[in-house]
Structure 1
Amino acid sequence: MDAIIYRRFSSDEQEKGSSDTLARQQERCEALAQARGWTVVETITDKSKSAFKGEHLRPDAGLGQFLERLRRGEFTPGTVLIADNLSRLSRRPVDEAMAWIFEVTRVGVQIAIADTNEVFAANPSMGDFLATSIKAAFSHEDSRRKSDMTRASKARLWKLAERREGRWTNLAGRLPGWLERTPECNGWIIDEERAGIVDRIYRQSADGIGVVTITRMLNDDGLEPFGEERRHGAGKRQWGRTHVRQLLVSPIVEGDYRPAVGMFAGQVIHGFYPRIVDADIVAQARAALTARKKVQGQGTKAGTLNLFAGVTKCGECGRNAALSTSVQKGRSYPYIRCEGVGEGRCENRNGYAYRAFEETALDLFLDLALDDRFFAATGELGKARTRKAEIEKELNDRRAFKLNLIRNFTTPDPEVAVVIHEATADIDRLTLEMEEVERAIQTASGKVADFEHLRRVGDIRDAAKSEDEATKMQARAKLGRAMRSIVGEVEIKRDPEGEKTFDVILKGGVMMVRIDTKGRVKAHLDQMFGEPLWTRIPAEHQEMLAPLIRRLEARRASEVA
């Protein structure tokens, strides 16, 4: 006789050790099957699903899907569903629990309970029915009582955590790999080495390095993973890209406790954990992570080879153009080619030699693109940028909080109105502080002398030619991110004379430069109708491009002089 084992644990049990819970259930159910001579053919598991709330019976849950299969007639009469105890199957009110049991058993599927060695078949006797009903009633009442006690306990613990009183750190279940509780559970102990690894991951992402490359570099350096990891066949513990990506979006590095599930889902306690990555670096790293997702069909390594990955187009058909490499006499030659050629959908068939074009493009635009965002900020500038990132985060939180209140309380409530008014005052205060900080950043940025800026730009270009692969890749990632911050599009096409060229169009249409495959500037367009092109773009775009426009005007003035 075939048997199916059903295992389940709730979110509360997950905090106490889900692996042990599931293992014990499996062991007891298998023992019952062996004693009865049943063959276990399948195990169904529901993780973090509450039987009291009926979450395990939903269509996306294991037991809910079992019921759908039952209704489709997938199980033959005589099949046994084994659970460790009745509460694993249901903690709902008696009528619901008994209705579920009868739906299963009436088609010939039996239900076995391991802890009592009971088997429920179709058409039970009145005594069996009453006994099962009483057990279901006790199970539901016990669950309700435990749920009420748990909610009250967690509510008290949440209040303690907000005030940092008592054993408040116990509010968190599973801790990040770089933190431990103090013996008194009233604070945190930071593993500085592990926290340094997280900071490194964020800084590499901010520099434009992708998750896959960051993961490989961590493993190449032999750094021991913590938390989730992947394993090779030899059993060596290594970093996995999923773990790295999770770290890059985790609110914990900023000090926030934001439960995703449970009674506090959607709420937040700021400063619950110690911040281990500066706000400015967090903002840069996540912006770069988001930007890389928008580069369709371009891996991180490709993005470091082609500094214009994602913005390079075919000037003939408008499709994406990508970097390829040919090898001649043992030497590689990178070139850009329209992706539509391989599909027979474009006549722009030949490749466009890339190296000389890149060198000229860097000569022309790099000092414009590599502004202070791409260098580690120190002193006044560093403090101002970090504070700006912190304010942005606070503003987003307060705006979201206010919006949730407005959505959830549609009827007038004096107390809610007061809270909304306070949130509005906070938003106004933070907005004014943001304006002050932005002025401070402009002032601090202006203190960087031209020669110092050019020296730093030169250092980045030298690092991009380093023999050390990691240094080279990190520098090229930074160069690519910088160039794509001001270049809107690069078109490959032939000019009126039939020569292969790259048309580099800066964002906002403020300038276009045509460069041939030998690195020569063929055309330079930044003025029309007797005035610069940027005077023709909308005022809000001019404001966004203000730093770039100032540099272009300075360049034009120097050329005239």
Structure 2
Amino acid sequence: MESRKAYSYIRFSSPDQARGDSYRRQRAAAEAYCAAKGLELVDSEEYRFFDKGRSAYKGEHLGDMGQLARFLRHVRDETIPKGSVLIVESLDRLSRAEVWDALPRFLDILNQGIDIYTSSDDTLYTAKFDAQQLILSIFNMSRAHNESSLKADRVGKVWRRKQDDAREFGKALGAACPYWIRYVNGAYELIPERVKVVKDIFRLAENGYGHRVIAKKLNEAGIPVFGSNRRNSTGLWGGSSCAKILSNRALIGEYQPTGLEDDGSGVKRTKRGEPVSNFFPAVLSEEEFYSAQAARDSRRISKSSKQSADFNVWQGIAKCVKCGGPMHLVNKGAPPKGGKYLRCYVSSKGACPSKLIRFDICQIVFKEMLAKINSISLVKNTQSDLNRELNTINSKIGEIQNRQKELKDQVLSMGGRIPSMLVSTMAVLEDKLAEYRVLQNKLHLDIGEQRITSKDDFFARLDLVSYEGRSRANALVKRLHIVVEMERREDDAVFRIRDAGGFLFSIIYDNDNHISYWGNSKDAHALITAHGDEIAFLKSLPELAVGENDLFDLAREVAGLERLYKDILSKK
């Protein structure tokens, strides 16, 4: 006669239990019971039910990924036959929820023909339970829930007290700290080798590398991932690991108290009050932190994800003048018949008549464009510092606006009742926002005053060869909100440069490899003249003999006519 089958369910929820004897103890008890009762303990991979780090109090083991949920599915589809035995250490392994939530689940298992054996008190529960046994099970489940509830309440109060001490006195929280910090003799100190890794991650992010590429570089260099093997069994860096570090404000010394709150739709981790500044030893300055965020934002806005060894400087910037679609880099093979081109994405689908534009022409035009916009930061440290300051201010303005939105939502949820603390917080935010706006405007003016006067000197110092240099140039153009509309015509290729304020200037590259310009403002005309490009500008109007002021006025009128012509075409 075939022996009854038994299945062991093992669960523990805390790292301390993982380090201890919990698994071995629960496993040994199951084996001993099966040996004593002549049961077959099913031990194949498919029928091992082990929930590591899942809380029965929160019901995590019953989620789609929980092993107890998988066991119940096997019972319902009769993969696990009736008459089998489920072995657990105690009923609290199954549930620490409220009795009226836990009891139906307990009874459901029994009614499916599965017996439940608890090794801690050597009790076998069956579908033929009597009243005394039912009362005992209710008592055990009630005790388990109350213990978990009291424990959660005690732990919550301890943490709130620690958070209050951290906010009021700057007192360290203990060993619970970021991976690049250690707790020694009641204080925090940086771990030098991990600080170096963090700074490398931020340097790569600022140079335009995405999360996955950064992770790949760290793995190739043999740098061990932060954290324990329990959290990351591969020991390798992943994109999410890098993303979490790049967004962690503890790197600039901030500590954000949090706690679990029930908002009616479930228990969620929420912020408790404003962040505590200068709590952890800082790894980065605010400028370093926010410069990386600006680079990440520019990638997010342009939706760039693929990265090649030769970064495409036009990525997320180039648009088709005819349909507005993005221009993508395509490789037609080796010259002379082949070569690299920019092609309208819509054209590649047969829905736009625009032509391919040679990529070598586009490369030349990109350099010329950089010389006409606020790109001196690519070769001059003072300008780079100004841009870093501006990135910091822009990010802080964004954070304040997000916080104001959160407070607004809180006010609406209170039905119009506004606590005095909320009013004072909103007032402080308004003052900070006004202060940052003033600084923002000043930085824009300071950056605008630093122009490229010698184009030859700028080109000599400009790096558009290395991946990092090309990525920096691309990120700068995106931060300036510049878009280039391009078109290949019969005799030339036209590149129309615009920013958020409208048309700036055009660059025309003709079939004789000659470059000419159309400017749309006195500033653009003055810069073209200062770079020695006025002859090129005049050559675009060879039949006209006009003075400098007349030339500017004419250029402005031509640009206006150009826009009018496009408007007429769009209405046909």
Which category describes the TM-score, using the shorter chain as reference length? 0.7 to 0.9
Taking the TM superposition and a 5 Å limit, the aligned residue runs for 1:490-509 are: 490-491=484-485, 493-495=487-489, 498-499=490-491, 501=493, 503-508=495-500, 509=502
1:555 is aligned to 2:559? no
Amino acid of the residue matched to residue 183 of structure 2? R
Q: 1:17 to 1:280 in 2, by over 3 A?
A: farther
Amino acid of the residue matched to residue 507 of structure 1? D
CA contact (8 A) 2:99 2:141 kept: yes
1:39 is aligned to 2:51? no
Report the alpha carbon displacement of residue 294 of structure 1 after superposing the two structures with TM: 3.7
Q: 1:57 to 1:203 in 2, by over 3 A?
A: same
Selected match of 1:139 from 135, 139, 144? 144
Amino acid of the residue matched to residue 505 of structure 1? I
Q: Say which structure, 1 or 2, has more relative contact order (CA 8 Å, 6+ apart).
A: 1
Query: Structure 1: how far apart are the matches of 2:227 and 2:380?
Result: 31
The residue aligned with 1:249 is: 247
Q: Residue 462 of structure 2: SS of its match in structure 1? A: helix
1:274 is aligned to 2:281? yes
Q: 1:123 to 1:347 in 2, by over 3 A?
A: farther
Query: Structure 2: how far apart are the matches of 1:385 and 1:73?
Result: 64
Taking the TM superposition and a 5 Å limit, the aligned residue runs for 1:314-333 are: 314=320, 319-328=325-334, 333=339
Query: Structure 1: how far apart are the matches of 2:329 and 2:200?
Result: 29
CA contact (8 A) 2:9 2:50 kept: yes
The residue aligned with 1:542 is: none
Report the alpha carbon displacement of residue 103 of structure 1 after superposing the two structures with TM: 1.2
Taking the TM superposition and a 5 Å limit, the aligned residue runs for 1:136-285 are: 136-164=141-169, 168-170=172-174, 173=176, 175-184=177-186, 187-227=187-227, 238-258=236-256, 262=260, 265-267=270-272, 269-271=275-277, 272-285=279-292
Selected match of 1:510 from 503, 506, 509? 503
Worse-superposed segment, 421-430 or 48-57: 48-57
Q: 1:405 to 1:330 in 2, by over 3 A?
A: same
Q: Which has the larger radius of gyration?
A: 2
Taking the TM superposition and a 5 Å limit, the aligned residue runs for 1:440-519 are: 440-442=442-444, 445=447, 448=450, 450=452, 458-461=460-463, 464-465=464-465, 472-486=466-480, 488-491=482-485, 493-495=487-489, 498-499=490-491, 501=493, 503-508=495-500, 509-513=502-506, 515-516=508-509
CA contact (8 A) 1:488 1:506 kept: yes
Amino acid of the residue matched to residue 527 of structure 2? R
Taking the TM superposition and a 5 Å limit, the aligned residue runs for 1:308-319 are: 308-314=314-320, 319=325
> What are the Cα deviations for residues 471-512 of structure 1, in whole angstroms up to 9, with x where unaligned?
x111111122223445754455442xx357353432243135
CA contact (8 A) 1:51 1:89 kept: yes
In the comparison of the two structures, how many residue pairs are matched? 515
* Structure 1 gap ranges (5+): 466-471, 533-549
Query: Structure 2: how far apart are the matches of 1:519 and 1:228?
Result: 63
Selected match of 1:306 from 298, 307, 312? 312
> What are the Cα deviations for residues 130-170 of structure 1, in whole angstroms up to 9, with x where unaligned?
3322222322232232222222212211111112365x322
Amino acid of the residue matched to residue 141 of structure 1? N
Query: Structure 2: how far apart are the matches of 1:149 and 1:229?
Result: 29
Query: Structure 2: how far apart are the matches of 1:266 and 1:356?
Result: 52
Identity %: 19
* Structure 2 gap ranges (5+): 262-268, 535-547, 550-572
Query: Structure 1: how far apart are the matches of 2:146 and 2:103?
Result: 15
> What are the Cα deviations for residues 356-399 of structure 1, in whole angstroms up to 9, with x where unaligned?
32113212334514154896559985895587368437635752
> What are the Cα deviations for residues 325-380 of structure 1, in whole angstroms up to 9, with x where unaligned?
344379993222344566565665x7432013211321233451415489655998
CA contact (8 A) 1:298 1:309 kept: no
CA contact (8 A) 1:372 1:445 kept: no
Query: Structure 1: how far apart are the matches of 2:190 and 2:57?
Result: 38
Report the alpha carbon displacement of residue 460 of structure 1 after superposing the two structures with TM: 3.1
Report the alpha carbon displacement of residue 259 of structure 1 after superposing the two structures with TM: 6.1
Selected match of 2:421 from 406, 419, 422? 419
CA contact (8 A) 1:335 1:352 kept: yes
The residue aligned with 2:564 is: none
Report the alpha carbon displacement of residue 215 of structure 1 after superposing the two structures with TM: 3.1
Report the alpha carbon displacement of residue 456 of structure 1 after superposing the two structures with TM: 6.2
Worse-superposed segment, 308-317 or 240-249: 308-317
CA contact (8 A) 2:9 2:48 kept: yes
Q: Residue 280 of structure 2: SS of its match in structure 1? A: coil
Amino acid of the residue matched to residue 181 of structure 1? Y
Instruction: State the TM-score, normalized to the length of structure 2.
Output: 0.75
Selected match of 2:300 from 293, 308, 314? 293
Instruction: State the TM-score, normalized to the length of structure 1.
Output: 0.76
CA contact (8 A) 1:28 1:114 kept: no
Q: 1:458 to 1:2 in 2, by over 3 A?
A: farther
CA contact (8 A) 2:378 2:384 kept: no
The residue aligned with 1:356 is: 361
Q: CA RMSD in A?
A: 4.2
Query: Structure 2: how far apart are the matches of 1:113 and 1:104?
Result: 14
Q: Residue 505 of structure 1: SS of its match in structure 2? A: strand
1:86 is aligned to 2:91? yes
The residue aligned with 1:337 is: 343
Amino acid of the residue matched to residue 429 of structure 1? D
Q: 1:427 to 1:78 in 2, by over 3 A?
A: same
